């Protein structure tokens, strides 16, 4: 986790470069952070089988769900190959 000096430094940098006030930047940062956490949690919940494919698609998009399914299948195949050696 970042210390207060680091956050202040980044906030000051962003305010200077974008011309936006600090409150607007903090609001945007909170929204981006929450969106990232929401997406990561939805991805992990789908991988763990805690949410349905339909719900995952509604949150993540069809394409992202397909990518996750492909990666999960590839990993499963790699593990199976590893055990068969």
Report the distance separating Cα 71 and Cα 29, nearest Å.
Answer: 30
pLDDT of residue 85 exceeding 80, the answer is no
pTM exceeds 0.85, yes or no: no
The token duo for 63 is 């394409």
In the chain, where the domains are located: 4-83
Look at residue 4 in the predicted model and tell me its pLDDT: 86
Asked if 68 and 49 count as a contact pair (C-beta separation under 8 A), the reply is no
22-51 mean pLDDT: 98
pLDDT in tens, 37-71: 999 999 999 999 999 999 999 999 999 999 999 99
Query: Backbone dihedral region of 48: left (phi > 0), alpha (psi from -120 to 50 degrees) or beta?
Result: alpha
6-29 mean pLDDT: 96
Look at residue 80 in the predicted model and tell me its pLDDT: 87
Report the distance separating Cα 75 and Cα 19, nearest Å.
Answer: 46
């Amino acid at each position: 986790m970042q210390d207060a000096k680091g956050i202040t430094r980044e906030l000051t940098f962003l305010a200077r470069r974008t011309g936006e006030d600090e409150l607007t930047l903090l609001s945007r940062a909170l929204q981006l952070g929450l969106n990232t956490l929401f997406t990561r949690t939805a991805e992990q919940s789908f991988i763990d089988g805690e949410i349905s494919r339909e719900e995952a698609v509604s949150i993540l998009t069809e394409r992202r769900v397909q990518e996750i399914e492909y990666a999960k299948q590839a990993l499963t195949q790699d593990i199976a190959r590893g055990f068969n050696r």
